[in-house]
Amino acid sequence: MDTGKAYPMGAHPRDGGINFAVYSPHAHNLILCLYDEQDQETERLNLPARSGDIWHGFLPDLEPGVRYGFRAEGDFEPDRGLLFNVNKLLVDPYAKALSAPFEPHPNLYAHDTADLSGLKPSDTDSAPQVPKALVPGPDTFDWQDTVRPDTPWPQTVLYEVHVKGFSQLNPAVPEELRGTYLGLAHDASIGHLTDLGVTAVQLMPCLAFMSEPRLADLNLVNYWGYNPANFFAPDPRYAVDDAVTEFKTMVRALHQAGIEVILDVVYNHTAEGNLLGPMLSHKGLHAAQFYRHQPDNFSHFIDTTGCGNTVDIHQLYPLTLVMDSLRHWLNHYQVDGFRFDLAATLGREAWDFTPHSAFFKAISQDPVIRHCKLIAEPWDIGRGGYQLGQFPEQWYECNDRYRDTLRRFWRGDGGTLPEFATRVMGSRDLLKKGSRSYSTSLNYVTYHDGFTLEDLVSYNQRHNAANQERNLDGHDNNLSYNWGCEGATEDDHILTLRQQTKRNLIASLLLSQGAVHLLGGDEIGRTQQGNNNAYCQDNEINWFNWSDPDQRFQAFVEQCIRIRGSSTLFHDLIFSAEQLINEPATTDKVHWYRCDGYAMEIKDWQDPNNHCLGILLSSDIDNPAINLHLCSEYYLILVNAGQHDIVFTLPANPVTGWQRVFDTALNDGLSEDTPARIRTSYTLKAHSLALLARCGDE
């Protein structure tokens, strides 16, 4: 074996052989282990060279596709952050493909789990239970000249989806493809997404992950995948044969349909857990340089994620690894952006979050990463962990204040009208991104970690018994309302109110400023049977039920997405700093009306019993409140979250009249072919929203 080169990291073909490079500052020796297709070890070779903290070597006459792993020799002194154990096979942190999924197993622990009186190294070989890295070959995938859709942010409608759950039960997808990358790439899947009108899919974690051992003991799994074991390889469990090629095929098919691909990525922690967790990769190579720990005791991991460890992005090697991973997914797989799980952790320096952290600076100067879509889940569980509105200017942020406000408003909570108005106008009070014109709020009503939309209007309490945690897991402040009966019912009145509330929430969401996030399956009435934390349910609780989709509600969602895309007034409103001083904001394009047709006053905003509002959106002229007849387009959004019908006096302007686009209380919210011309007033039923548009000239 020749000395090779210290760069690039991982395994790379060159000059008729393969170069290997791995970072391990305190190892005494690094051993390369090669395996055949039956996972039988064929050779062990010491990496012959070291450049600084990187061990490397070149093996001639070795072809791509070979399976390999590393073993590290060194001291086993946990209090110094040294956990070396040559009996444990370690996956290359830069592995681009894996022979099998990661699965929990007792042999994966570096210490003897039978004797915890003092940590002692385990003498059990873990190789049979460890996936092998695959040496990558040349990238010959045919992208067929497909280009990225590059949808502008304000026009983006995200659809959050789990690769397996989406197609697992879809009879229109061939059985052998269901629950896979190719299942999502199938014409039946793409057709549903294009019919719906979404512009992007946000894929729940596809980077290789492993279930927590605790779940394995309960015969459960980490279905969501928020427990990563490798940052470069697509998880093989969603592949028919070749995860790398099939993932690219999926991206290509989505791009050909004009749909962007956003990856939900977890760089804040790994599946290795705390000191007593399994050893898969980093813990056996460079634990003290990769995980946050107390400065005086390397065995005490700092946990701002709630998952046992925290990747220390403040340090050079983890930061470099994450940047390399992001570029890999953008360049090699042509994805369009990322949603960062617990992104506040990534913005922590030595201790606290700052928008000027090394992580954000590295992204902002990177010529590849800085131009993709960047989404932050703007919190973690550490000190000062809630950071909504504090991320850099080009980042969009998951806006939980939007979610909570819309839920409270549409279930009829008093005193919520002013904040409702502020949220639908882009939450610029929370996301003050300098002089940026458009709102960087990623608005949502439902997310994977909570109730589905159907359950939000059907349950007052969580029903998580299937998780085997005594129904103590999951959020206990859902801001939901069952409208009179917990769970399933045949009461027509309750069912009507539930459907109407769903339409109110979706209509509000799609008529709001900012970008839109939809939870996959909400459009067909997907239920998790009241489970608001279904992370460990790889079954019908999570899988989409295609046998009885709510087609009327799906048609309503499709309609709202089309309406949103039909006018810039629903997503591209611009506010100046001066216009944002007094909330809710008023511009020459936005005016607020009482139900009697007069402009809202301070006392109207401050009335806790006021649940009604008219929002006038108009094209850009000097004074649309007076000269509406000069506007090229204008819309009137009428909302009534109260318990009684309200007669709205329409704004008194010299126009030719209004026509109803839709009313959530009528015709399942679907627009009518020949809407009547409305002159002076409109009766809006309780718990409903209506959208009116300017009639054409008579």
- Which residues form the catalytic set? 341, 377
Which candidate, 524, 587, 593, places its Cα nearest to that of 557? 524
State the DSSP H helix or E strand holding residue 76, giving kind and residue range, or none if neither.
strand 76-77
Contact between 181 and 541 (Cβ < 8 Å)? no
Look up residue 364 and give its DSSP letter.
H
Handedness of CA 272, 278, 282, 287 (dihedral sign): positive
As to burial, measured by CB atoms within 10 angstroms (0-12 exposed, 13-18 middle, 19+ buried), residue 60 is: exposed
SS3 content of the chain, % helix, strand, coil (to 5): 25, 20, 55
DSSP H stretches of helix in 209-368: 213-217, 243-256, 282-290, 316-332, 343-346, 358-365
Q: How far apart are CA 198 and CA 565, in angstroms?
A: 10
Look up residue 489 and give its DSSP letter.
-
Give the bridge partners for 443, in sequence order. 516
Which candidate, 164, 76, 92, places its Cα nearest to that of 135? 92
Handedness of CA 494, 500, 502, 505 (dihedral sign): negative
Q: Which runs of E-coded beta strand occur in 487-539?
A: 515-519
Q: Order of strands, edge to edge, in the sheet holding 49-51?
A: 10-14, 17-23, 54-60, 49-51
C-alpha triplet 363, 366, 370: angle, nearest 5°: 60
51, HSE (Cβ side, Cα atoms, 13 Å): 12
Coil, helix or strand for 330? Answer: helix
Which candidate, 235, 248, 245, 181, places its Cα nearest to that of 207? 235
Which candidate, 640, 635, 690, places its Cα nearest to that of 662? 690
Contacts of 547 (CB under 8 A, 6+ apart): 169, 171
Contact between 434 and 393 (Cβ < 8 Å)? yes
Which candidate, 207, 205, 209, 210, places its Cα nearest to that of 104? 210
Between helix 358-365 and helix 316-332 the angle, nearest 10°, is 30
Q: Which runs of E-coded beta strand occur in 540-632?
A: 590-593, 612-618
C-alpha triplet 577, 583, 589: angle, nearest 5°: 70
Coil, helix or strand for 566? Answer: helix
* First-to-final CA distance of the chain: 86
Q: How far apart are CA 533 and CA 473, in angstroms?
A: 7
State the DSSP H helix or E strand holding residue 454, giving kind and residue range, or none if neither.
helix 453-456
Neighbouring CB atoms inside 10 A of 114's CB total 8
Q: How far apart are CA 654 and CA 55, in angstroms?
A: 78
Which candidate, 327, 329, 323, 169, places its Cα nearest to that of 247? 329
Say which amino acid occupies 597: G
